[in-house]
């Protein structure tokens, strides 16, 4: 049973474009929603995170949009760069245990 559903599985974006990755969750007890970025040969690293008391969080070119009523959240990467090419995982948690989505492989072409 997949508690966090992530789409799309892969995404190709041109340099300068906007990358959008979506996630949906089922458990309304989740109270922390991070995004992790993973480069080939490396472990995932925390990129940005949000709590459900706010609808948006922005850090540089990365923005999380959160819709509590729809139980959905998304990552927006503005002005996408080739260096953003990586696999992105959304996650949700209650307490210290994270449940991850299935991942999105993003490729940004020059």
Q: For residues 66 and 100, which CB has a smaller minimum distance to other proteins in the complex?
A: 100
Interatomic CA distance for residues 66 and 82, integer angstroms: 26
Across the beta sheet with 19-25, the strand order is: 4-7, 19-25, 72-77, 62-67, 56-59
Q: How far is the CB of 15 from other proteins (least distance, A)?
A: 26
Strand partners, 69: none
Where along the sequence are the contacts to other proteins (CB under 8 A)? 6, 9, 32, 34, 36, 41-46, 49, 89, 93, 96-103
Q: For residues 5 and 17, which CB has a smaller minimum distance to other proteins in the complex?
A: 5
């Amino acid at each position: 049973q997949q508690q966090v559903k992530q789409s799309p599985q892969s995404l190709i974006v041109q340099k300068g474009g906007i990358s959008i990755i979506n996630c949906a969750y089922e458990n309304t007890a989740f109270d922390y929603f991070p995004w992790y970025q993973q480069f080939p040969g490396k472990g995932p690293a925390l990129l940005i995170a949000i709590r459900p008391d706010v609808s948006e969080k922005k850090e540089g070119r990365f923005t999380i949009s959160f819709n509590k009523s729809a139980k959905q959240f998304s990552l927006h990467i503005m002005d996408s760069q080739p260096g953003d090419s990586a696999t992105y995982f959304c996650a949700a948690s209650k307490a210290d245990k994270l449940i991850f989505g299935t991942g999105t492989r993003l490729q940004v072409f020059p």
